[in-house]
Amino acid sequence: MAGYRGPGAMTTFLFFRLVAPIGFIIIGSFYLFVVDDFGLDPMMRAGAIVGIALLGVKAPELFLKNQTSKRQQSIRKAFPDALDLMLICVESGMSIEAAFRKVADEIGSQSVVLAEELTLTMAEMSYLQDRRLAYENFGKRTDLDSVKSVATALIQADKYGTPVAQALRTLSQDSRDTRMAEAEKKAAALPPKLTVPMIVFFLPVIFVVILGPAYITVMAVK
């Protein structure tokens, strides 16, 4: 699960998944049977309560997906810059732990979420026996391909002793290319989306501007 933060987060999610349907049922029943029945017979109101209960079951999932999407979007936007900073730190002679700490401090103004993830990864690198687990957890928590690629590169560099800077340089360029491709894709999708607003809002104004004076002239002649 993207954004998974440990047993505490899972317990909280399960708690709300259990409590939310009960709360929805109580509120829905009170409103339909006490406040306003909307002209529904008891059977239809009971069916509405069942639907409200199902909504209560899905509400925590929808909330979690929304929060996960926001976190991933924040990380996705800031990650290329974070890779550039990490590359500069590594090439200047910093260890990977110090690079993570420095990048977490600098990138916080752009993405608090990414700074939190880097700080957590740095902490795991300190107390876990194998740093590979910290890298893997970093990729699992974010559930982003770009982050997983960096985690894999760091694992291979740590295992085989390959240069970290070269791997980071390649991944940084790939990450920027991916972000540029996504921006170009969004830009290419704008013209079809603007067609309907232009027809609805702009064309009538143009017709009024063009035909208005002619209409006024004709009416004045009459």
- From the list 104, 82, 96, the residue with the least C-alpha distance to 172 is 82
- How do residues 83-94 score in pLDDT, each as one tens digit? 888 888 888 888
Quote the distance between the C-alpha of residue 17 and its chain's center.
21
Cβ distance 103 to 118 under 8 Å?
Answer: yes
Report the percent of the chain where pLDDT is more than 90: 2
Assign residue 94 a region (left: φ > 0; alpha: ψ between -120 and 50; beta: otherwise).
Answer: beta
The predicted model scores a pTM of 0.66
In the predicted model, what is the mean pLDDT of the chain?
Answer: 81
**Between residues 197 and 84, the one the model is more confident about:** 84
Residue-wise pLDDT for 44-58, tens only, equals 878 888 888 888 888
pLDDT band, residue 127 (cuts 50/70/90): confident
Residue labelled with tokens 């550039």: 84
Alpha carbons 146 and 28: distance in angstroms, whole number: 44
